[in-house]
Amino acid sequence: MYLNCHTGFSFKYGTLPIKTLFEEAKRCGIHKLALTEINNVSSYLDMLRICEENKSAKDGLTKYGKTPYQLDIAVGIEFRNDHELIYIVIARNNRGFETINRFLSYHNREGKKFPHRAPEFDQVFIIYPFGTIEPDQLKAYEYIGVSKPDLVSFAIHPLREEYEYKFVALHSVTFLPPEKNKNGKLIYRDHNTHRLLRCIAHNTLLSKLPKQHQARKEEFMLPPNDLGKLFEKFPELIRNAESILNQCFIECKLRRR
């Protein structure tokens, strides 16, 4: 159900080491997620290695004799022009991943911005931010992501019921959850680190960093029940997100270290 997860390889944006994202999935009881770094794919091989190392061996433990944890990942890219989220593209399989990489490489090589409407892609799912496109304009493999702040607008959307199958829950993961201090106050350390990274990216002061240039402080992983509560009035959003994730896989033969 997590269609948009970042690590620190979403440069000057994400804060999580790759191993920490795995540990967060384990803490929350998540067994599949989509890793979608911003405009790059640098973390994917390391995450696949970590997932492989934590799989169960014949004796019920990992090959290193530790308690196993099964985490499968889908892979994709969150495409942005500067601070603007254009769309998230998730590969259905290896061929789709190749298509995404060719698209990214072309625009990097030519120094071109990404188009606001994705081109014809093969073997992928595309998720547009809520409010940037109408559901009756979508191709068969395109969807609209609805995050918590979008729920009020989603509830009164005139095409919501007719195109129920075109909307998906989009809860991004960018940093660790807050900690409680001795007085019980929540301290958003990782979110503050993220904001400092955004200041570096935009060469500005923290006091002058616009809201639209930073992630919401709620972008951390939640257990399935807690995530379900966020979207409890619209359970179809969770079901649609799970349906997409269940159709995506990546195969990679990893060399032993």
Tell me the pLDDT tens digit for each residue of 56-99: 987 889 988 899 999 999 999 999 998 899 999 999 999 999 99
Per-residue pLDDT tens for 115-150? 999 999 999 999 999 999 999 999 999 999 999 999
- Average pLDDT over the chain reads 95
Q: What is the pTM of this model?
A: 0.94
pLDDT at 255 over 70: no
Amino acid at 223: P
- Would you place residue 242 in the very low, low, confident or very high pLDDT band (cuts 50, 70, 90)? very high
CA-closest candidate to residue 85, choices 152, 20, 150: 150
Does position 254 have pLDDT exceeding 80, yes or no? no
pLDDT for the residue 64: 86
Query: What domains sit in the chain, N to C, each tagged with a CATH number?
Result: 2-177+219-246 (3.20.20.140)
Sheet with 124-129, side-by-side order of all strands: 2-5, 32-38, 72-81, 84-91, 124-129, 142-146, 167-169
Count of beta carbons in the 10 Å neighbourhood of residue 175: 28
